[in-house]
Amino acid sequence: MTGSRVFPRAILLLLLIVATGNLYFLRRHCLNFLHGLCVSDANCANVCRTEGSNSGACRGFQRRCFCTIPCA
């Protein structure tokens, strides 16, 4: 292959890898808001696991509990 044919294919491959990586990241990290004020990350994670989520953490300025859930 000549250099003029390799470069466009390399760019296309790079774009596919980047696009697929971003979709994979978005699919893995879905968040679900859980009502109430969040005081402790450990407590939030325990409540989230009790309700069927993978885990949870306090987030945001208002310190709300967000659970991580499996995304489709």
* Per-residue pLDDT at 42: 94
Sign, CA dihedral 33-38-42-47, equals negative
Contact 44, 65 (CB under 8 A): yes
Q: According to the model, what pLDDT value does residue 24 have?
A: 47
Give the integer Cα–Cα distance in Å for 48 and 54.
7
Q: 9-58: per-residue pLDDT in tens?
A: 767 765 655 555 444 444 555 777 776 788 899 999 999 899 888 888 99
Is the separation of the CB atoms in 68 and 55 below 8 Å?
A: yes
* pLDDT of the residue at 25: 46
pTM: 0.54
Specify whether domain 3-69 bears CATH 3.30.30.10. Answer: yes
Query: For residue range 60-69, what is the model confidence (pLDDT) as tens digits?
Result: 888 899 888 8
Residue ranges of the domains in the chain? 3-69
Beta bridge partners of 58: 65
Assess contact for 44 and 57: CB atoms under 8 A.
yes
